[in-house]
Amino acid sequence: MLFNSYIFIFLFMPMCILGYFALNHTGKYKLGHAFLLGMSLWFYGYFNPSYLLIIISSVCINFLFYRWMKGMQRATILQAVTENEELQNLAGSSLGRLKKCKPIMLFGVAINLGIIFYFKYMDFFIENVNTIMKMDWPLLHILLPLGISFFTFQQISFIVDTFRGEVPEYDFLTYACYVTFFPQLVAGPIVTHDELIPQLLDKSKKKFNWDNMAKGLYMFAIGMGKKVLLADVFGIAVNWGYENVATLQATNAILIAVGYCFQLYFDFSGYCDMAIGLGKMLNIDLPVNFNSPYKAVTITDFWNRWHMTLSRFFTRYVYIPLGGSRKGNIRTYINLFIVFLLSGFWHGAAWTFVLWSVLNGLFCIVTRMFKKFFDNLHPALGWMITQGFFTLSVVFFRANTIGDAISLIKQILYVDFTPIDVHILEAFKIPGLNYFWDGTALTNSLPFIYVGVFYYLALFIVLGCKNSVEKMRQFVPNIKNMLWTAILLSWSIASLSGISTFLYFNF
């Protein structure tokens, strides 16, 4: 199910909120969790009920690994107490014996990675084997389950944290609610157990809260506006551009390359805003996933602001275990490169994603090697270098093939400026805008100004405005904010002429 759909807005969301708090009001908190779990599974399996078998199996398998390790940990502690070990030696002794859990943890991680590999990379693997080995293995054409990378990484973090002795005892219902919590289920943020489960168990969060409801609706409206009124509009032009790369020429190629940066940002940050808003309505605080990355003046700062929970996952569970920055510069650069390479594969089974991640990894390494030089650059110059590099690198991220990406970049470098293509002009006739103003005359007479307004508006939002999390922290439930929320929601709902999925559903 999509956040930007009539069934979600008018049926699922009110039913979920009212049902959850009604059951909690009776004091039957377990029943409230069961209801939330059922609603989350309905949300996930709405488009394809067969997805339910995958996610339910994944939850059950990982919970069994969790219980297996917790059982060994309890037995170890009980044995230590039975042997009358001194309390000061108990922790060290137990930790030494808990190495017995390591094979279980590794097996659990391998199972999760194997599931991702099968559904996401098997056809990609077969294609490359066929190419290299001159073979003709048939493709399996496996349907990629929504959000499998997100909920699988979430469970990998849970398994590893359990091995480290950082996870307390949880029952199956609580764990299942943690994994399937619908606001962040299919496109993040990737939430750790200590961020979400204590909130699910907190009795003070079981009561309906009008302030949280107001904040949540405000965030949901902002996210909906980003998705429907901005990302989807840029997406129409971008989709046309990448299907007609050979005919773009410089003007249209620049508009398409920059337009995809705006589409990607507003689409994913819009989803995260809606997720945070939905969580807030249920009295749950989800972690921030974006912190104005287009304001970054270095590539390192950029990746500290973009998809923050994915960066955190790779830092905790890959970069630091590999040694982080503790084993010299060369090892640090290698570890950084590995993280970026894995990030590319995480985003999709295509060499375009890999090349995009390699380019960003190399630029991060160069930035780290010459840190003093980049730190001394004027902020405006640093911003132009960073954002210019990202704009060109993300061409590989979006293009259907590496050849298409190179062709688009070549057309930009040729500097062969032409009029704006009519398909791009048509894309920016926003649904619903014609109720207030018909821009046909301006479109025909001054196309650069008409299209430029949208690009400048997008640039002003990402650079000149506070991000939505900052706005939520300063939110006051007053008439102004109520009207702004109502206008954004109404305009977005009126513009739902075509339901579009979120870009990160494919990752």
Residue identified by tokens 């599974």 is 41
Please give the Cα distance from 263 to 251 (Å, whole number).
18
Does 25 participate in catalysis according to the annotation?
A: no
Query: pLDDT tens, 258-290?
Result: 999 999 999 999 999 999 999 999 999 999 998
117: which DSSP letter?
I
10 touches 272 (CB < 8 A): no
Please give the Cα distance from 445 to 427 (Å, whole number).
17
* DSSP secondary structure, 413-464, as one string: HHT---PPPHHHHHHTS-TTGGGT---HHHHHH-HHHHHHHHHHHHHHHHHH
Q: Taking each helix axis as running N to C, give the angle between helix 379-398 and helix 402-414, from 0 to 180 degrees, rounded to the nearest 10.
A: 140
Cis peptide before 189 (omega within 30 of 0): yes
> Residues in the chain, how many?
507
pLDDT tens-digit profile, the chain (507 residues): 888 888 999 999 999 999 999 999 998 899 999 999 999 999 999 888 988 999 999 999 999 999 999 988 877 777 766 665 554 554 444 444 467 888 999 999 999 999 999 999 998 888 898 888 888 888 888 888 888 999 999 999 999 999 998 999 999 999 999 999 999 988 879 999 999 999 999 999 999 999 999 999 999 999 999 999 899 889 999 999 999 998 888 899 999 999 999 999 999 999 999 999 999 999 999 999 989 999 999 999 999 999 999 999 999 999 999 998 888 889 999 999 999 999 999 988 899 999 999 999 999 999 999 999 998 999 999 999 999 999 999 999 999 999 999 999 999 988 888 888 888 888 887 655 554 445 555 555 566 777 888 899 999 999 988 888 888 888 888 888 899 889 989 888 888 766 577 777 666
The pair of three-digit structure tokens given for residue 184, joined into one six-digit string? 């962040």
Farthest CA pair distance, the chain: 88
3-state DSSP assignment of residue 138: coil
pLDDT at residue number 9: 92
Give this prediction's pTM.
Answer: 0.89
* DSSP secondary structure, 315-326, as one string: IIIIITTTTTTS
Task: Give me the catalytic one of 307, 347, 378, 423.
Answer: 347
Please give the Cα distance from 73 to 163 (Å, whole number).
9
Please, what sign has the CA dihedral across residues 325, 330, 334, 336?
Answer: positive
